[in-house]
């Protein structure tokens, strides 16, 4: 399917991309949602931005996966289901739940998302259907069991935290409110924390450098954004809970 040394090179690029993303996002806040600013060129409706940006994670992943030598083995199929659980939600459900009427997303953000998701889907799908573990006994080993548990905990945390934010606008309007309850008792961005836990679980369960690179990338992408959100809340709400951290409970 792909030469192993070329594949390893691709995974190394993903680690490098993660580091570059972190340092870029500590300087520039990604211009979408509450941080949108002018000067980023043409834009398109926010919902469609999400669908287009995330679509390669569903389609490219499935395409590459079904070309793999181990596509019908139980362990790769179980990884396939976990991946698609997340990305079907993110691509086809989340964009139609959010209440962001008339909001826009810069095309440049969408294109960067498409490029990232295509590359990331490729390296992860190649691993699970071609190079990764296939023996049924893998499912009784600690990394698989612990990784799947982490993945599910992270998924529940991020989906339930997304739902809390979406409910804040159930009365209408486009204003921001202070989210409360659930993970918001501890941190400003439990949705991001859940996403990070989830991909750490993926890295462990698949026992792959591709999974680890994605988990590291997710931290590098979402940690600076969580810090930006946290500062934004503190600046805009005088009564913002003082003991709430940005993303790591009790610490940060
Ligand atoms: P945000 O938390 O910024 O926003 C999520 C939605 O909730 C948006 O529709 C937003 O509206 C709305 N919202 C947020 N805060 C409030 C508030 N205080 N009051 C009312 N409405 C609010 O998340 P993102 O848009 O950055 O990300 C969405 C999801 O995608 C998250 O679950 C995240 O984990 C995931 N993601 C994953 C990435 C990865 O690298 N794996 C990268 C980026 C996102 P508005 O648009 O108007 O701000």
Q: What percent of the chain has pLDDT over 70?
A: 100
Question: Does residue 1 carry a pLDDT above 80?
Answer: no
Mean pLDDT of the 231-238 span: 97
Q: Which atom of ligand 1 is nearest to the CA of 195?
A: 34
From the CA of 100, give the closest atom in ligand 1: 47
Banded model confidence at residue 25, pLDDT cuts 50, 70, 90: very high
Residue to mutate, 14, 121, 176, 229, ligand 1, most ligand atoms under 8 Å from C-beta: 176
Give the atom of ligand 1 at the shortest distance from the alpha carbon of 229. Answer: 3
> Is the distance from the beta carbon of residue 228 to the nearest atom of ligand 1 less than 6 Å?
no
Ligand 1, atom 12, lies closest to the CA of 165
Q: Is 198 in the pocket of ligand 1 (CB under 6 A)?
A: no
In 3D space, the residue among 161, 155, 146, 235 whose CA is nearest the CA of residue 195 turns out to be: 155
d(CA 167, CA 179): 9
pTM above 0.85, yes or no: yes
147-178 burial: b if 16+ Cβ within 10 Å, else e = bbebbeebbebbbebbebbeeebeeeeeeeee
30-33: long-range contacts, CB 8 A cutoff, minimum separation 24: 30/109, 30/225, 31/106, 31/109, 32/105, 32/106, 32/109, 33/103
The pair of structure tokens assigned to 237 is 């709400």
- The mean pLDDT of the chain is 96
Q: What is the pLDDT of residues 43-59, one digit of tens each?
A: 999 999 999 999 999 99
Phi/psi of residue 171, nearest 5 degrees: -85, 0
Neighbours of 185 (CB within 10 A): 13
Distance 218 CA to ligand 1 centre (A): 14
Burial environment of residue 117 by CB neighbours within 10 A (0 to 12, 13 to 18, 19 or more): buried
Segment 101-122, tens digit of pLDDT:
888 999 999 999 999 999 999 9
Instruction: Cite the beta strand spans of 86-232 per DSSP E.
Output: 104-106
165 within ligand 1 shell (Cβ under 6 A): yes
Q: Which residue has the tokens 């804040």?
A: 168
pLDDT of residue 235: 97
Which range, of 89-93, 162-166, 235-239, 248-252, averages the lowest pLDDT? 248-252
Please give the distance, rounded to the nearest whole angstrom, from the Cα atom of residue 225 to the centre of ligand 1: 10
Whose C-alpha lies nearest to ligand 1, atom 47? 33
């Amino acid at each position: 399917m792909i030469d192993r040394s070329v594949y390893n090179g691709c995974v190394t690029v993903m680690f490098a991309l993660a580091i570059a993303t972190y340092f870029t996002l500590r300087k520039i806040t990604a211009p979408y949602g509450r941080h949108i600013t002018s000067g980023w060129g043409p834009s398109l409706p926010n919902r469609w931005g999400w669908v287009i940006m995330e679509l390669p994670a569903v389609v490219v992943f499935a395409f590459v996966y079904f070309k793999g030598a181990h596509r019908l083995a139980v362990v790769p199929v179980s990884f396939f289901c976990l991946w698609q659980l997340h990305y079907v939600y993110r691509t086809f459900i989340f964009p139609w739940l959010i209440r962001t009427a008339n909001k826009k997303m810069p095309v440049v953000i969408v294109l960067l998302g498409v490029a990232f998701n295509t590359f990331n889907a490729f390296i992860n799908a190649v691993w699970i259907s071609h190079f990764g573990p296939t023996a049924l006994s893998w499912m009784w080993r600690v990394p698989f069991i612990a990784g799947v548990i982490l993945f599910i905990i992270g998924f529940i945390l991020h989906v339930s935290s997304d739902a809390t934010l979406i409910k804040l606008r159930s009365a209408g309007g486009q204003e921001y409110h202070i989210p409360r309850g659930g993970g918001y008792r501890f941190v400003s961005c439990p949705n991001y924390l859940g996403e990070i836990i989830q991909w750490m679980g993926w890295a462990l369960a698949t026992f792959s450098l591709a999974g680890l690179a994605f988990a590291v990338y997710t931290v590098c992408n979402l940690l600076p954004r969580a810090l930006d959100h946290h500062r934004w809340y503190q600046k805009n709400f005088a009564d913002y809970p003082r003991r709430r951290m940005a993303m790591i409970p009790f610490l940060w």
